Structure 1
Amino acid sequence: MSNDAPESRWFHLCMADDLASPNAFVTTRVGAVPLVAQNIKGRVVAFRNVCTHRFAVIHGEPSGCGPLRCPYHGWSFDADGVPVGLPFNPTDFQLEAEGRRRLALHPASLARCGRLVFVRVASDGPSLEEELGSGLFARLAALSDAFPRRGDAVEPEDGWETIETANLRLHLAPNGALLLHSAAPPGADRRFSRTVTFHPANAPITTNAELPA
């Protein structure tokens, strides 16, 4: 796998807020590989979004809330990717603990930059901060933490600052709005793109808020 292959790169997936609730999940696809990030009992983890039993896609929607359970045979998985709920296991599968561990989901890489959540197919490689560069990493972390309040959609205008990295484009308005657009990674269709507008928590939208430098 070359360093330029999509599977070796970090891609923005969602905001940490989107995975804050138990069983919340967000999915995407990088190349031919479907991925899912999910909150399982308060722990946010990422896997290939494919059941290891009959290779069915586990979560078919871009986001939602529900257990990490394959729709094919109803196998459910814990935060380590190990199947823990196997209907009819005594009669149909007879899987003991070791057999279940061998059928654990394939992990994906997960990293945060402030409230921004990134995923990568490859388990090894440069950290997210190394790939973005320490300066940009710090700026994105500061911006994401400074704009916690979601608001109505806005369109970028002349005079807005634009920051682009990976599949992420941020537009920063002089009046204190932050427009975040996450394009679908290579291999994913448009339903995996996401756009959201944020505002500072304690500042009116129409005032000039002090923004991270």
Structure 2
Amino acid sequence: MTEAMPDTRWFYLCTEDDLAVPNAFVTTRVGAVPLVAQNLKGRVVAFRNVCTHRFAVIHDDPSGCGPLRCPYHGWTFDAEGVPVGLPFNPTDFQLNAEGRRRLALNPASLARCGRLVFVRVATEGPSLEEQLGSGLFARLSALSEDFPRSGEPGETGDGLDDGSGEAWERFEAANLRVALRPGQALRLEALPPPGAAERFARTGNFLPAHTDTERPA
């Protein structure tokens, strides 16, 4: 980490929907540190995405669904980061409960802004609201609730230039570039954090909730 990119800085990762089902995970990298957020039995947690046994990366894909299991020796970790599945433990590792706890994954921080999920390396430091500012935090939270449906790129202007002449408002929050057409569409373009490859960039297109304007006869 460098002074220009402290480990207390928050970065947008995904929406709640991306982590809604058990074992769903999303990864990123901040500087040299791989991070993962994962749904483990309904609880969404964040860790450094590195096994504490031989320091292999656990999840190599940007996102997916599968156990929090290291591919090297098959160690599986629970929501506390403790290894609970250790193939050949009696013969090869011989770890008791205390030994397993000492090899728990290094935690990372996770925060929500409405339906949006952010992560950072450090476990202590300024809150996400403090980093964004209370006004921007409240607005981003409200927008995430107002535009809950995923949309195809064409539904949100396909690159924000649909020839309609209607203005898009643009602003930035953390590593997010936000484009808004009030009441119609929201586009979130997440730049990869410093040190992360382009495969960790993410773009999401969102639409308002369905509104039923029909009235009974």
TM-score by length of 1: 0.92
Contact 1:6–1:186, Cα closer than 8 Å, also in 2: no
Pick aligned residue for 1:160 from 148, 158, 168: 168
Q: State the 1:6 CA deviation.
A: 3.8
Q: State the 1:124 CA deviation.
A: 1.0
Aligned to 2:215: none
Aligned to 1:208: none
How many residues in Structure 1 have an aligned counterpart in Structure 2? Answer: 204
Change (3 A) 1:179 1:203: farther
Unaligned stretches of 5+ residues in structure 1 = 205-213
Contact 1:6–1:30, Cα closer than 8 Å, also in 2: no
Q: State the 1:33 CA deviation.
A: 0.2
CA deviations over 1:100-130 (Å, ceiling 9, x no partner) = 0000000000000001000000111100011
Aligned to 1:191: 199
Identical positions, percent: 74
Q: State the 1:39 CA deviation.
A: 0.2
After the TM superposition, list the runs of 4 or more consecutive aligned residues in structure 1 that deviate by more than 6 angstroms.
Answer: none
Higher mean displacement: 174-183 or 119-128 = 174-183
Q: State the 1:5 CA deviation.
A: 2.5
RMSD of aligned C-alpha atoms?
Answer: 1.5
Higher mean displacement: 157-166 or 193-202 = 157-166
Contact 2:31–2:195, Cα closer than 8 Å, also in 1: yes
TM-score by length of 2: 0.90
Aligned to 1:14: 14
Unaligned stretches of 5+ residues in structure 2 = 213-217
Q: State the 1:57 CA deviation.
A: 0.2
Q: For 1:58 and 1:168, how far apart are their aligned partners in 2?
A: 26
Contact 1:156–1:173, Cα closer than 8 Å, also in 2: no
Higher mean displacement: 121-130 or 168-177 = 168-177
Q: State the 1:196 CA deviation.
A: 1.2
Change (3 A) 1:30 1:42: same
